[in-house]
Every structure is written in C-alpha cells, then in structure tokens.
A and B are shown apart, each in its own frame.
Chain A
Amino acid sequence: MNMASSTLATAEVSSAKIVVRDLTVRYGSTLALDRVALDVGDRQVTALIGPSGCGKSTFLRCLNRMNDHIRNIRIEGSVSLDGVSIYDAAVDPVELRRRVGMVFQKSNPFPKSIFDNVAFGPRVHGLRDRVELREIVERSLRQAALWDEVKDRLDRSALDLSGGQQQRLCIARALAVEPDVLLMDEPASALDPIATAKIEELIHELKTQYTIVIVTHNMQQAARVSDTTAYFYLGRLVEVGPTEQIFTNPSRPETEDYVTGRFG
C-alpha cells in the first residue's frame, strides 16, 4: 500500500523540492508516522489533510527538524531538500531552518515591536545595517499584505495587533529570512473567515516564489489553496495526488469518505 502511494507521488510531481522516503517516527513506543513517502513539488502548495492525530503535523515538523527537540523521539527514513539529506550528520538544523521557514497554528509574535519581530531573523543571521533591515522589514510586510495596516506603527508592540494581523506578522517574520520553503501548521485555524480569506489569498501569491506545505483541518481550504493534496490517516499516507483529483475522484475509498465528510 505504501509502495503504491510512493510511486503515485513520484509519477505526479515532476520537479520535487522535497523528497521524503520511508519516514517513520516514533514517540517512545507510539508509532506516529509509518513509512511515509511523499514528494513536494517546487513552488507548489501541498496540503496535508487528515483527522487529528494522523501524523500530519509530525510530518510537517520533520521537514525543518523541529522535532529534534522532542524527547524520546526516533526518526528513521530519509528527507531530502534539493537532493541533500537533511538528517545527514553534516547538516546543521539551524542552517536548515533558514531555508525552511515555519508558521504555527497559534500566532506567536515575540513580545517586541512589529519592526523587531520581522527584523529578528535577519539580525540573528548577522545583519546590522539599519537601512537594509528597514528594506527587508518593509518588503516582508508587503509580501504578507500587512504593510499598509502597520506602516505607521512599526515601533508598537506586536501584541497590540489583531489575531489575523499577528498571524500575517508571523508570516512576514518567516519571509524576512528568505526561505525556499514555507511550512504552515494550520495557519488559519484560530482566525475568523475574513482573516482566513486574507491568509489564503496570501498563500496564492506566495506560491510563485515559495514552496509551501500546509497542514489544514479545513477541507475547503485545502481544495482552495493547494495544488497537491496528501491524505494522512493513523500515521500513514493513504493517498496523494492533484488536489482536484483527490476531491473529485480519489482512488481510495477511505480518502473519499474523508473528503466528502462521511468520516473524520
């Protein structure tokens, strides 16, 4: 079954940015991911769907090695980015995360000013020049469609922003590091429909420059924003394919049950 999904994935996506093979993750004795194989297309939006606890967030966090910090975790298999295995001993996870940014479910701005939030990444990576920092902050905020709302109050606390604004600020903060890949873990689940629509619009614009992997519980959202959809269930990748096909004509009955709402 797993072989089937992996051949399907390679067949459908021609230029893969991220190639995952046989990825197995255990928390202690609990199996969280079971031999998952998936290709993530360059400058495409890949949506990961499935019921809670199916392993999609674990999978996402394997792509930038954010799981490294969890105790008792065992990760096997291979994940490569542009052909380089990211779990290789020679790869520094800190360097990796500069190329693979992440936006979290709950917006998590630092208790600092709007400017300092966006400038955090570039500063950490050694940029000190005020003018250059300014340019990066403005460009990132524009990319995140937040510039017009905050340009007059960049020195105000990020915590004063609304929930939707905070999430777009977190996206801007991730973009300021100029990653190749953007991982999004249910980025709109805590937002109202208008803020959600803004985030989705943003994803559409960002995919011209970035490879995006998004975890979502919202089926319509997956259908709206993604090019490829992968359905996870109980730690396994059940099916992956072009989004339209997954939602209209899935090849596996379990997938159909889930996307039509009969289950999950």
Chain B
Amino acid sequence: MFAATVAATATVLGILLFLLGYLVWQGASALSLDFFTHLPTPVGEAGGGMANALVGSAKLLLVAAVVGVPVGFLGGVYLAEYDGGRVAFAVRYAADVLNGIPSIVIGITVYGLLVVPFGHFSTLAGGIALGLLMIPVALRTTEEFLRLVPDTLRDASLALGAPQWVTVVRVVIPAGMRGILTGLLLSLARVAGETAPLLFTALSNRYWSPGWLQPTASLPVMIFTYAIAPYDDWHHQAWAAALVLLAIVLGANVVARLALGGRSTAQT
C-alpha cells in the first residue's frame, strides 16, 4: 500500500517535471526578447514574436476578472455569511454544476449570445466567456476562506453592536482577505490557459487588436494555430508560447502559495 502511494506521488511529480523539462527543451530556443516585443511575421519569414497574443491574453483576463471576480466574490460571501439554507444549497449546487460544464459549451453559448448578434468576434466576448468559467471557482474558494475565519471574531463584532453586514465587511472579509485574493488569483490562472471558449469568441488576430470589440490574439489560441500549422518555425514558436503560458500559470500558483504561507490572519 505504502509503495503504491509513493509510486503515485512520484508519478505526479514526474509528469510535472517532465512537462516542464520538455517545454524548456522544445521552446527555449525560440524564446528571445523578440518573442515578447514583436508581432508575428508572415509565413516564411523567420523571427517575429507574440507580443499581440501576450497583450491579448492580458486584456481577456482583465475582462474575465471584471466579470468573474465580483460575481464569484459576492456569491461566496453570501454562501459563507448569509447561508440561507435551501437557497445556499441551490447556489452551491449550481456552482458545482457550472464548474463541470465543458468550457467549449460556455464558448458556444457566448458565441450565440454575443458574437452572432454583433456580427464579429471580440475581446469582450472572449473575456466574458473566461469570466463565466472562473465564477464557480472564485465563488467556492471565497466561501471556503471565509469559513476559515473563526466564529469568535464574528461574535466579538456582533456583541459590540455591529450589524451583520458591518461585521462581514469590517471584520470577516479583512480577516479572510489574503486567502480570498489567493483563490481569485488561482481561478484567474486557471482560465488563462483555456483555449476552446476563445476559438469562437475572441478568435485570433495576426496583428494588434484594434479594440475591445474586435478579435484578438491570445496565447492559448496562438499555440493551437501554430502547433497545427505545417511550418517548423511556427512549431518552435508554439512551444515557446506554451512555455510562457505555463510559466505565467505556475508563477501565479507560486505567488499564491507564498502569500498563503503566513495565513495567520484567518487562523488565530
């Protein structure tokens, strides 16, 4: 039994390390300053970069955060602090179901609701699709971290004559804030790599996206496009983009873990 658990653990670690190593091996050669600062070059021309995809991903995540953070955060506060029995159960259940919905389904829904009526693909539509995807994760992590705040703090505030909403805003949320921010960051990192919902919402773009209502390039879609293209040069660029994307997601995870290292506010 013990040996089996060790083997499983080693496998998990092994997969992660292999993935990292393979990406570095394949992608590092195509990584240069140009990759971060230049637009893609036309087919056949060497060099170029993915600056537009980096900026595009950032814009998509910004829209996603604007959509997902308020809904997820406030919903989580509701579940943790105003737990209304049946309603809370329904919300929690809905969030779990939403979490299980394949991202491509979210993508096609947004396509039907925001792309077709407006007649073109857009950064906004892509960001909203990502935002919808992050809501359930943001909601449940916010709820979890608020539940870690000890009831003795709520009691202390209520006993001082603070109404419940003041208790929530001035005592409970500040005490759980570090964990909540971490959870929100992780939920954002999770959707940063989503490709399927972007394929028919934000589409892609060889050039700088002219605006929020126009198609934009993004790292995941660039990886997809470049990887299935028949050019060696593009394959290397795809590996480099994959490496950058992984670095961003891993970086967010590490920052989150470090921030949580001294989780004393919620614990004491």
The 8 A CB mask of A76-109 against B (1 = contact, 0 = none) is 0000000000000000001111100110101011
Total of A-B residue pairs, C-beta within 8 Å: 66
A121 on the B face (CB < 8 A): yes
| Residues on A with beta carbons closer than 8 Å to the beta carbon of B264 | 111, 159
Q: Is the CB of B160 within 8 A of A111?
A: no
B246 on the A face (CB < 8 A): no
A66 on the B face (CB < 8 A): yes
Complex formed: what's the CA distance from A110 to B174 in Å?
10
Cβ-closest chain A residue relative to B266: A111
Number of interface residues of B (CB under 8 A): 20
A116 CB, min distance to chain B CBs, angstroms: 10
Q: Which of B155, B160, B163, B265 has the most CB of A within 10 A?
A: B160
The 8 A CB mask of A119-156 against B (1 = contact, 0 = none) is 01100110000000000000000000000000000000
A18 on the B face (CB < 8 A): no
Cβ-closest chain A residue relative to B268: A159
Given A104-B152, A108-B156, A110-B156, also A98-B268 (CB < 8 A): no
Q: Is the CB of B268 within 8 A of A64?
A: no
| Residues on B with beta carbons closer than 8 Å to the beta carbon of A230 | none
| Residues on B with beta carbons closer than 8 Å to the beta carbon of A120 | 157, 160, 162, 170
A114 on the B face (CB < 8 A): no
| Residues on B with beta carbons closer than 8 Å to the beta carbon of A174 | 159-160
Given A124-B166, A124-B170, A159-B268, also A110-B161 (CB < 8 A): no
Which residues of chain B from 143 to 198 have a CB within 8 Å of any chain A CB? 150, 152-153, 155-163, 166, 170-171, 174-175
Q: Is the CB of A97 within 8 A of B156?
A: no
Given A110-B153, A110-B171, A124-B170, also A102-B163 (CB < 8 A): no
| Residues on B with beta carbons closer than 8 Å to the beta carbon of A159 | 264, 268
